[in-house]
Chains A and B, each alone.
Chain A
């Protein structure tokens, strides 16, 4: 494996080819906020909160670090005015859906996001896909999935699979940043296998 040298927040960081920026940063104990990232799962790039500034040959661009592969000699800034502004906006939009999520509130405090900036649209799911991907990739049960599209997109359990598999597992429950998953499960349980 080829070794790649890059600079993150002014520090030289060693990474191996094929790593993502986020992994490189984490290996050097540099914190980048994430919502949809999980070390056991494939990179997803859903929440965009891990956005960072990358400078290549004097040009800066904004990239999503959890799906961006490391490159030789790039300069990465995990906090900058631009990055903070985008993260604040993402958090405010997500807070319109899940205003009471502890994880979101902690990030909101850090980035000065106002939870009441946008009108509340309490759908609670922030589409991080953690439950869906964990069930599919780690547990290989496919008990929960996304349905519908656009603004109506939501998670949904397959009752037949959930009735068999979920009661002994429930490992996805603690992954959910908003606790909406638990609500969907209880609803499915109440409707399909009380």
Chain B
């Protein structure tokens, strides 16, 4: 955990309760998860009750209260991607990384999630890694794509 960077983010919004979601998003992007000490600090500095911080941090799927990997892999399971074989793609990705959706591997390299339709159905089946889309992916190609992430 990079404490200086987190402090920097919080100090930028000091005392502004309305910036709560923004602060949490920035910390989530920086740190990949929200540890308890960080939530405590956010609650104190932004003058928002901890119950409110917890409510928001557990409400949105963006936030994670458990450690996530450096690279976030999303496999689309929307109906179009499903029809184009995303189930097999997901199986392959699971085998390659060795984890199931919602989990993180032991060296914090990958987190795997399934996602619903992302709106670019003619690119399916696709996986998104750290926001970058990899389109029309066959199970055999998945390994080549995942190799590029450390």
Contact = CB atoms under 8 A, between A and B. Distances in A.
Interface of A: 132, 136, 142-149, 156, 158, 161
A158 B52 CA distance: 11
Contacts of A161: 50
Given A146-B55, A158-B54, 15 more contacts: A132-B51, A136-B49, A136-B51, A142-B50, A142-B51, A145-B50, A145-B55, A147-B54, A148-B58, A149-B58, A149-B59, A149-B60, A156-B54, A158-B50, A158-B51
A95 B60 CA distance: 28
Contacts of B58: 147-149
Contacts of A148: 58-59
Interface in B45-97: 49-52, 54-55, 58-60
Interface string B17-50: 0000000000000000000000000000000011
Contacts of A147: 54-55, 58-59
A142 B52 contact: yes
B59 to A, nearest CB: 5
State the majority secondary structure of interface residues on B.
Answer: helix
Contacts of A132: 51
A146 B53 CA distance: 10
Q: Is the interface of A mostly helix, strand, loop or mixed?
A: mixed
Size class of B's contact patch?
Answer: under 10
Interface of B: 49-52, 54-55, 58-60
A149 to B, nearest CB: 5
A173 B59 CA distance: 25
Nearest to B65: A147
A158 to B, nearest CB: 5
A127 to B, nearest CB: 13
A158 B53 CA distance: 11
A136 B49 CA distance: 9
A24 B60 CA distance: 38
A143 B51 contact: yes
A142 B55 contact: no
Contacts of A143: 51
5 smallest beta-carbon distances between A and B, as pairs: A145-B51, A142-B49, A147-B58, A149-B59, A142-B51
Interface core residue of A132, A144, A146 (most chain B CB under 10 Å): A146
16 contacts: A136-B49, A142-B49, A142-B50, A142-B51, A143-B51, A144-B51, A145-B49, A145-B50, A145-B52, A145-B54, A146-B55, A147-B55, A148-B58, A148-B59, A149-B58, A156-B54
B24 to A, nearest CB: 14
Nearest to A161: B50
B45 to A, nearest CB: 16
A169 to B, nearest CB: 15
B133 to A, nearest CB: 27
A13 B51 CA distance: 40
A156 B50 CA distance: 11
Contacts of B51: 132, 136, 142-146, 158
Contacts of A142: 49-52
Contacts of B60: 149
